Structure 1
Amino acid sequence: MLHSAKYIPGEIVRHRRFEYRGVIVDVDPVFQGTEEWYAEMARSHPPKDRPWYHVLVDAEEAMTYVAERHLERDPDDSPIDHPMIDDLLGERRDDGSYAPLHTMN
């Protein structure tokens, strides 16, 4: 059974554990990585059958791949500082989110 994604591309989120801010640029309805990546990086064993998100990390050059359960909406609506943001997202909306140009999948 597929679960509906809680967040959409352009939304600003915060990682619950690591507390970094970021903006979602794409959503996978289920985990799309390799078993090796999951074993190494997903140590809390988040569910693979729920949405996973590609997130540009604020004030970094990194993009992360994060399970939905580790994200929450970020009440801080300040802009995200990332070198790829203009390539992947459009104008900022009144609520602080970004208009997606396209999705990666």
Structure 2
Amino acid sequence: MTDFARVAKFRLGQVVRHRTHPFRGVIFDVDPEFANTQEWYESIPEEVRPAKDQPFYHLFAENEATYYVAYVSEQNLIPDSSGEPVEHPEVMEHFGDFEDGHYPLGHRLN
């Protein structure tokens, strides 16, 4: 019997960064285990390919050059300790104002 009681380490609205790649973002959705395409999965080099049986996070991500949506395994994320907001334009459409290192759930009312 498989244990489906896995708890995600990170939460919606939390600002995180990738463990090895230079980007950070806000979590807007969580899959309890891998739920993307096999083609996407196989595009990751085998030596760094994450296990599928862990939470995967959808991020409004940014780096120095652009904004995008990222899909990242839990093992490749760490909390962002910069205290800085994320500038991705979709963040404010889905979350409230940045406070204490995270974004509260809910739409802004302005």
Q: Fold match, TM over 0.5?
A: yes
Match of 1:72 in 2: 78
* Aligned partner letter, 1:76: S
Aligned residues: 101
User: For 2:105 and 2:73, how far apart are their aligned partners in 1?
Assistant: 20
Identity of aligned residues (%): 39
User: For 2:34 and 2:15, how far apart are their aligned partners in 1?
Assistant: 21
Contact 1:25/1:100 (<8 A) preserved: no
* Aligned partner letter, 2:30: V
Aligned: 1:37 with 2:40: yes
Aligned: 1:96 with 2:105: no
| Superposition misfits of 4+ residues, deviation over 3 angstroms | none
Of the candidates 19, 43, 50, which is equivalent to residue 46 of structure 1? 50
1:19-34 superposed matches below 5 A: 19-34=22-37
Unpaired runs of at least 5, structure 1: none
RMSD over aligned CA atoms reads 1.7
Which of the pair has more CA radius of gyration?
2
User: For 2:44 and 2:75, how far apart are their aligned partners in 1?
Assistant: 15
User: For 1:61 and 1:19, how far apart are their aligned partners in 2?
Assistant: 12
User: For 1:28 and 1:19, how far apart are their aligned partners in 2?
Assistant: 23
Please report how far the alpha carbon of residue 41 of structure 1 lies from its aligned counterpart in structure 2 after TM superposition. 3.5
Q: Which has the higher strand share?
A: 1
Residue 42 of structure 2 aligns to a residue in which SS?
A: helix
